[in-house]
Structure 1
Amino acid sequence: MKGGGWLAGSQFLQKARGAFYTTHTAAEYMVRWAVRSPGDLILEPCFGAGAFLGPLSEALGPERVYGAEIDEAAYRRVLDRRLLWTDRAYLGDFLRADPGKPPFPRAFTAVVGNPPYIRLRRLPRQAVARALQIAAAVMGEPMSPSGSLWMPFVLQSCRFLAPGGRIAFVLPYELTYVQYAKPLWRYLKGHFGEMRCVRVHDRLFPDLSQDVVLLLADRFGGATDVVTFETYADLDALLDGRPDTAVDIAVDDVVAGGRPFVEALLPPALRELLSSPRLAGRLSRLGQLSRFGIGYVAGDKRFFHLSAEQARAREIPPAHLQPTLTSGRELRGIGISTRSIPRERRLYLYDPPADPEHLTAADLRYLAEGEAAGVHLRYKCRIREPWYRVPGLHRPDLLLSVFSERPVMVMNEGGFLASNSLLCGFVAPGIGPEQVVAAWYNSLTLLSCETEVHSLGGGVLILIPGEANKVRVPRLDRVPSAYLAELDRLLRRAGGLDDAFALGDEVILQSELELTRSEVNLIRDGVETLRRWRRNRC
């Protein structure tokens, strides 16, 4: 994740530059894999602090090792430490280097490194253009500008490989699932005869929440349909070659947009259960039952959201106020419906008429107060006309929390609006909101959240519409009324969320889907397994 000359400078911290250097243990493992013969030629395309250069020089001698670095300070430190010979070192942007041009020979046996993990959008326009040009030239198809710099580095490195050569890179875990990496997977499939993707539960970067994998691709010039995914409990297990998991994943499954690297963490018995016709045939995507999207964007939360007391103090007409919810916390403790939210806890969206002639004196005073505070200059406000009218107001059938280990879903029988801090669901024809809520609270739903929903750098699940709509839930033809009543009671109780999901395991999974207790326990264990891997980023 090392940075570059255009990012070097005292105003940028390591994290801003992507400048986090590989631990020696991980570097030594990768070097041990990459070096096969005393005659190997090895390239490190972004050597940073030189974590790979030391082990490489020890294995081959410095005359067989070449390196590049764009950060001059890092470059000088490595030369001062004599980790690299001057005539084998390149100071500059590796994406502007060419095979066969000094100091590089035409081809290398292996390329080993830890490329920059910085988003292209943060780079100067010229650097972005060069990165995209390199990626497209090597892959034969364009790279999305929403991607990260590590991907052009990997592709540029392949230009320096001899037939039969190999690459070993530390890459962000997002390699395994992001949309922009799909063309890279297609390229790797068609140009390497063997691939391994290695994930270690212990973080390779103790000071960084970034989750990483090791990509080890061999036999350049060949082709393969699979990547072997290996997981290890810790670095000792990695060095000793003791994987907890070793599963062949079809590259086409990665490209198709699934999350096979997550599913591979589950035990075979659970994977078999999830794919069995008796279970798979009883599940639906959440989006088939209720389509979820984000709520409205106010533009200034403090100005547009008022308590009843604040509205009364400003004499704002009740007709210009809409009851709204602005946080997932407001869904806690209310049961299965917003109808139970007490009036004293309610917030209101300020929603005055667009026509100035219909504004009251109180409206004009409040709008003047907002303009004095610069609210009308906020981006979302200044691009709409008039600035004080919030667009996209709808009353959803269902509401779903966004940030949560156990996302909360409720029916919106209280008729609330909802801001973009919540997901808003609109049920499909013939589906009742109570069917969706009843299907939500069980461990099978939680397991699907773990496999379909991505997490932030700290390991926190964040539900976005595209992923939330893919979550699989039980499809229920009937909803036991006693179950809904008990679910409501548990969700009103402090600390009752876990009990609500446990109730769903009993009533929905065991009684309705006819799963055995041991099968339900297998699902619960799967949830904990995936959480453990997700939380290793905390």
Structure 2
Amino acid sequence: MTETAPKNCMVNPRDFGKETSCAWKSSLTSAQLATADAQHRFSIAARKAIKSRYGSTQRYCSETNQNYQHLSRVLRGEVILTFGDIATANEQLGISVELVGSERKDGGSHISVMSSTRNSLGAFYTPDDVAACLVRELSLSRDSSVLEPSFGDGAFLKALKRERISVDKICGCEIDPSACESALSTELLSSSMLFHGSFFDFDLDKKFDAVVGNPPFVRIRTLSPNDAVKVIEQTNKRLGSPIGEESSLWLPFLVKAGEHVKNSGGLAFVLPQDFTYLRYAKSAWEYLATHFGSIRLIRVKERIFKSIMQDVVLLVAKQKGKSTDQICFSCFDRIDHYLNGKSERRTVVSLDDILNDRRPFQRALIDNSVLAVLEGSSILTPSCREASFHIGYVSGNKKFFHPTTEQIEEFSIPHTSLVDTVVSSRQLTGVGYSTSQYDSPGKLWLPNSEPSEVDRQYIHFGEALKVDTGYKCRTRKPWWIVPGIDRPDGILTVFGDTPKMLLNDGAWAISNSLLGAYCSNGINPRSFCSTWYSSVTRLSIEMQVHSLGGGMLVAVPREANRVVKLASSHYDPGLDIKINERILAGNIDEAYCTYNHAIENQYGADFIRAVQKATEELIAWRKH
């Protein structure tokens, strides 16, 4: 633990992560204070959520395959959160976090995680200039009536005031009492036009010429059970199709906001970039297209929220009461270009492409000549035509079902009850292209349905630890047999900047931290995995695979299945050695150039350069 650990920023480090009054050291810079205070608040929120849902941190770690010692240190403020912690906290606990990247003195970098009371409400406050520009998009008059459904720090209210919209025409909703007091004291709202409470309790009969705002980005499941049910039922009724608790709160916010817009009116919202590709967002796109005659989506490469790694887009929908099947997509490199109306890249995106998962907003950033080859080449193919990607098994208790060498010896667990496996992508560090060259990095305990006496002793050991009462274990019969154990033909890493494909000729099983490629009949696994490594595949990964805030790619099966690669028929056995050498040397980008010659022979060197340029462009948009 170093002096820069978050807890060491406190006068009394024992106060970190506890709901007590605390004092910070006076010597801290503003950045150090903001980061440490934010992780302190995140720890408080995480502890609450863990206690409520899992009872203990140990059970939470067991059921979500996390390292208990590491997470305990995170919650105590001894270390800073990792990307893995961030992803799991968001998925399992519904906690939205802000990421801040900063440079170390040694030239490396670290990731700090920031959270606060407003973040627990899903509030990322909009910069004043962006709010002002969005308001101007709606071409309001002084007599226009406007609703802000979650006004927060008042950025949109200030913008409306600067546009000389009468305060008597502006209505605002907000759940945070301090924000309500501030809006009244600064005369951004009149008391008669302020609704202190949930937007979902706001009278639907009230209509406005425009609705503007930045809705919460948290998951619906973070609400109380009663509120979650109410929000889901209201939204399902408006959409005519079901949403679930895994959906984010911005979706029902957007749909209800649309219901408050008068005919011929419009709305302008800040939304997460996820809106452009998430499956559950399709219903929102359909709603907008059937209720508004003009839809514009704006994306800026430069980060709009300077202090956080949350990618956003700006939505402007006009002409309520009409419909459209086209979306105008505008791209700007810098915020000031958008604010000042400078040149933009403008593309028309079809609703059909959005609804059919063609990733049109990514495609719009790529030259049409490159797209034409990717989609019409006889030597390229979507991965799904040669293999199918699936996520690995879920053990239910990472520590118990993956015994250490010492535990295997202590319980004399027979080798017949152990399966070679990879538990996490970290275990693949230093592993080359072919798994048969190495001993498996882990063991999965998988006894027969009629366990031996030794296995029964290990079962009793697990029951003493209450492993059998964990969520996944208690729902399966018998609890101690992990289902879904397969040996994929290829292993694809899930988290990272550049996914790595390994030929699984060592027949290792994989946990749910990795994806497995299962080749179709007639497709040789060696051919499939080797021809994965071309610049075309690398570009297609950028097109298809989504990223977390901060730019880390996170591959899921349906995305991996759509990745375009060189057809396996172009396999050259002599190139396996080159791929292996490049992977072992840490030159994964070079590995992805291995089969470029086969594509260059067909389309020329200029095409390869265009593919690599397009990849660099998408990476810049992902990371900016």
1:79 aligns with one of 169, 177, 184:
184
Amino acid at match of 1:413: D
Q: Which amino acid aligns with 1:13?
A: T
> CA 1:243/1:180 → structure 2, altered by over 3 Å: closer, same or farther?
farther
**2:603 equivalent in structure 1:** 515
Q: CA shift at 1:282, angstroms?
A: 2.7
- Residues 133/496 of structure 1: CA separation in 2 closer, same or farther (3 Å cut): closer
The RMSD of aligned alpha carbons is 2.3
- Residue number among 383, 399, 423 corresponding to 1:286 in the alignment: 383
Q: Which of 208, 213, 217 is residue 317 of structure 2 equivalent to?
A: 217
Instruction: Please give the alpha-carbon distance, in whole angstroms, between the structure 2 residues aligned to 1:190 and 1:462.
Output: 32
Partner of residue 380, structure 1: 472
Q: Does 1:68 align with 2:173?
A: yes
Q: Pairwise mapping of residues 406-425 of structure 1 onto structure 2 (< 5 A)?
A: 406-425=498-517
Shift of 1:431: 0.6
Structure 1 equivalent of residue 125 of structure 2: 21
The structure 1 residue matched to 2:445, chosen from 330, 350, 353, is 350
Whichever residue aligns with residue 522 of structure 2, its letter is G
> Per-residue deviation at 1:213?
0.8
2:555 to 463, 475, 498: 463
User: Map of 1:410-489 to 2, 5 A cutoff?
Assistant: 410-489=502-581
1:306 Cα deviation (Å)?
Answer: 3.6
* CA positional deviation for 1:215: 0.5
Answer yes or no: is the 8 Å Cα contact 1:397–1:412 preserved in 2. Answer: yes
SS in 2 for 1:169: strand
CA-CA distance at 1:310 after TM superposition: 4.8
Q: Secondary structure at the match of 1:430?
A: coil
Contact 2:144 2:209 in 1 (8 A): yes
1:170-209, CA deviations, whole angstroms, 9 ceiling, x for partnerless residues?
A: 1111111111121221221122121110111222222332
SS at match of 2:496: coil
Report the equivalent of 2:424: 327
Rounded Cα–Cα distance in structure 1 between residues aligned with 2:242 and 2:488: 39
Change (3 A) 1:395 1:139: closer
Counterpart selection for 1:359 from 453, 466, 487: 453
State the 1:438 CA deviation: 1.9
| Contact 1:228/1:246 (<8 A) preserved | yes
Matched to 2:154, the amino acid is G
- Alignment partners' CA distance in 1, 2:262 and 2:466: 60
TM-superposed CA distance for 1:28, in Å, is 0.9
SS at match of 1:450: helix
The 1:494–1:54 alpha-carbon spacing in structure 2 relative to 1, beyond 3 Å, is same
Per the normalisation by structure 1, the TM-score is 0.89
- Partners of 2:620 and 2:317 lie apart in 1 by 27
Partner Cα separation in structure 2 for residue 128 and residue 351 of structure 1: 39
1:337 alignment counterpart = 434
Deviation at 1:78, TM superposition (A): 1.0
Aligned to 1:154: 254
Write the deviation string for residues 323-342 of structure 1: whole angstroms up to 9, x where unpaired. 2222224444443311101x
5+ unaligned residues in a row in structure 1: which ranges? 1-8, 101-105
Distance 2:540 2:526 in 1: 20
Asked if the contact 1:308–1:347 (Cα under 8 Å) also holds between the matched residues in 2, the reply is no
Q: How does 1:9-408 map to 2 (within 5 A)?
A: 13-59=117-163, 60-98=165-203, 106-275=206-375, 277=376, 279=377, 281-308=378-405, 310-341=407-438, 343=439, 346-356=441-451, 358-360=452-454, 363-408=455-500
Unaligned runs of 5+ in 2: 1-43, 49-115
TM-score by length of 2: 0.77
Distance 1:359 1:300 in 2: 22
Partners of 2:245 and 2:413 lie apart in 1 by: 46
Report if aligned partners of 1:505, 1:520 keep a CA contact under 8 Å in 2. yes
Higher RCO (CA < 8 A, seq sep 6+): 1
**Count of matched residue positions in the alignment of Structure 1 and Structure 2:** 511
- Greater gyration radius: 1
